[in-house]
Amino acid sequence: MAQAAIIINTSDLSFTHGNGLSGQHVIPAKTPDEDFGILVVYPTPEIQDIGDERRTVHWLKSTPLAKDICGMRSEDGKYTRLGVLFCNAEPDLPKELLAAIEEEMELLNDNPPDVKYRKTKEGVMAAINVEDPDVRKAKIRLSATVQKERQKFEKYCRSLVTKEEVALAKRTMLETAAKLVSDGDTLWAGNEMDRRNISELPKWACRLLGLSRPWCYLAQQMEPCPGCGKPNPVGVITCGSCGAVYDREMADYAKMSNAEKARSLYPDRYLEPVGTAPKK
């Protein structure tokens, strides 16, 4: 049976796995509008000669390849530490998709690329692809069918990922990030050489956790305090310098008189004495 494997990614990093046998695979990053990026790993078709000039397609299991892609079979298994998870579901490839892939494969096998050499106007020999127009059309049509069927199937695969799996991938990622930040701190506390060895990953972890470190400057938008003028990160509710409390929109303060502004920003300094009647 031809089954696919599902890999999800809850981080904003994409990961590339490449080896000579299975080619290059990219686990896409999660985009801001989705819960996870997804890579569907397909079983690899192999044409087997069964004698009498007959051939059959044999599908190699996708699980070992998927585990390789996640880094699960290497020493450090690093992608699974960074938000990647190999999911439990192993959906069967739909019949339509299998048929389309096999048909495409047969067509490509029966029509290997044919190249002719011709002399160009400039007198240079050039390789030119020669192909029957019908074969060309069939290739385009089949490739479009395969693509369409894959998209449908991958949408279905996305629906097979459980909430628990997404939560597990995220939890592991956050645990790794916390550890990476502490590794960064340790290096920062060391000598000049150690400091220079802080790699991109601890910095990524800092940003992920919203932490600011001397070795990872977090670009923040600042705006001046309407009370004392010192810059504060946008969105804070008090001023780190003068203690002003912002309980209104920043733009409102510009419209106030100085006295009004002072009462609004520093309410505890302008408390009415207890028992006094409000001024008329």
Closest to Zn ion by CB, 24 vs 258, is: 258
Query: What is the DSSP secondary structure assignment for residue 87, as one 8-state letter?
Result: -
The one segment of 8-16, 110-118, 242-250, 272-280 that binds Zn ion by CB under 5 A: 242-250
Q: Output the smallest distance, CB 238 to Zn ion, in A.
A: 8
Within 13 Å and on the Cβ side, how many CA atoms surround 9?
24
Sign for the CA dihedral angle at 59, 60, 61, 67 comes to negative
Q: Applying CB under 5 A, what is the total number of residues that bind Zn ion? A: 7
**Alpha-carbon distances, residue 251 vs 9, 207, 226 (angstroms):** 41, 29, 9
The one segment of 80-88, 234-242, 256-264, 271-279 that binds Zn ion by CB under 5 A: 234-242
Q: Output the smallest distance, CB 217 to Zn ion, in A.
A: 22
Pseudo-torsion of CA 200, 202, 205, 211, nearest 10°?
A: -110
8 A C-beta contact, residue 85 and residue 30 = no
Rg (Cα) of the chain, in Å, rounded? 31
Q: Which of 27, 38, 239, 261 binds Zn ion (CB under 5 A)?
A: 239
Residue 237 and residue 125: Cα distance in Å, rounded?
A: 72
x/- mask, Zn ion, residues 188-227, rule CB under 5 A, reads -------------------------------------x-x
Q: Which of 26, 60, 168, 228 binds Zn ion (CB under 5 A)?
A: 228
Q: Which of 157, 202, 244, 246 binds Zn ion (CB under 5 A)?
A: 244
Residues between 37 and 96 that touch Zn ion (CB under 5 A): none
Which residues are near Zn ion by CB under 5 A?
225, 227-228, 239, 241-242, 244
